[in-house]
Amino acid sequence: MPEPQGEPVRPTKRCLDDLGLSFPPLEQRLHTVDHPIVTRAQQVPSEVAAHGAERVVSITDAVWFKVKTGHYRAAVHQLDPASELRPEISAGSAWWWIGAAGVRKADSGAEDFYAQLAAECKRAGKGTGQVSSRQLLPTDQDLKRLRAELAAQTVVTIRDLVCGLVARSIRDGEQWSARLERYEISVLIRARQGEAYIAIVAEGFIDPDFLATILRSVPGIDAEDWMAEPGGAMGIQPGFGQIVWSAVIPPEYQSKIVDQYGDEP
């Protein structure tokens, strides 16, 4: 499904359980889960900004907003950036969460979803004199998923960046460079007898995991095929803080890389 625009509204594990859903693959951002109530919830931040969102008034310990589409119902909350100290929340812009979801049952004579939610929060706050919605907030399991998702997105970003540089260098034989966070990555391809020799320059004080991710990004090259080139390769002389690695890209993979990444900006 297309990527929603604006601030992401992520379903918690509790919300997914309510809907009978499982976590999707890590490459899929959680707020893009293909379900009507999750899709509808993406509109809540803009509705709140426009003062058009409806509160769940029965939950008084925190601000929760109603989400309705068809017979589905949900409750959405925004974490407070001023008091939120968990770094993955900020890194993933994960401020909005769907804490619970269900279906409207009032027409069948059963208790309404929001009435059920209010009763749950009342039970959670028993003995305190007030309701408690803390059980609806993201848990450690939600944060673990978020961290894993961010790591997977980083791998995809690096792969796309490196393969884009490779595709350009295959086409024109020139060295192409790009900066990713605090690192500079350069790629140079030279064709010899139908094979392409690739030299990757990773500039900066690079941690081993990051370097391994760069080298794994090029399809058709196994980890043991890469060779460290401390003296340089294909005319590239490593400077201070640079690491040069080289390998051979099989012809069939050259074509695949150009076809898939040749038009990337």
pLDDT tens for residues 9-66? 999 999 999 999 999 999 899 999 999 999 999 999 999 999 999 999 999 999 999 9
Backbone phi and psi for residue 109, each to the nearest 5 degrees, phi listed first: 90, -10
Q: Is the pLDDT of residue 80 over 90?
A: yes
**pTM flag (> 0.85):** no
What are the structural domain ranges in the chain?
9-138, 150-261
Task: Please write the tens of the pLDDT for every residue from 10-26.
Answer: 999 999 999 999 999 99
Q: Are 214 and 202 in contact (CB under 8 A)?
A: yes
Task: Please write the tens of the pLDDT for every residue from 115-173.
Answer: 999 999 999 999 998 999 999 999 999 999 999 999 998 898 889 999 999 999 998 88
Q: Is the pLDDT of residue 5 over 70?
A: no
Residue 265 has a pLDDT of 54
In eight-state DSSP terms, residue 162 is H
Backbone phi and psi for residue 37, each to the nearest 5 degrees, phi listed first: -75, -35
Q: Is the pLDDT of residue 109 over 60?
A: no
Q: Is the pLDDT of residue 111 over 90?
A: no
Q: Are 33 and 11 in contact (CB under 8 A)?
A: yes
What are residue 73's DSSP bridge partners? 68, 102
Residue 1 has a pLDDT of 45
10-19, 110-119, 196-205: least confident range: 196-205
Backbone phi and psi for residue 103, each to the nearest 5 degrees, phi listed first: -125, 155
Residue 234 has a pLDDT of 73
Mean of pLDDT values over 229-243: 74
Q: Are 124 and 131 in contact (CB under 8 A)?
A: yes
Backbone phi and psi for residue 31, each to the nearest 5 degrees, phi listed first: -75, -5
Residue 2 has a pLDDT of 43
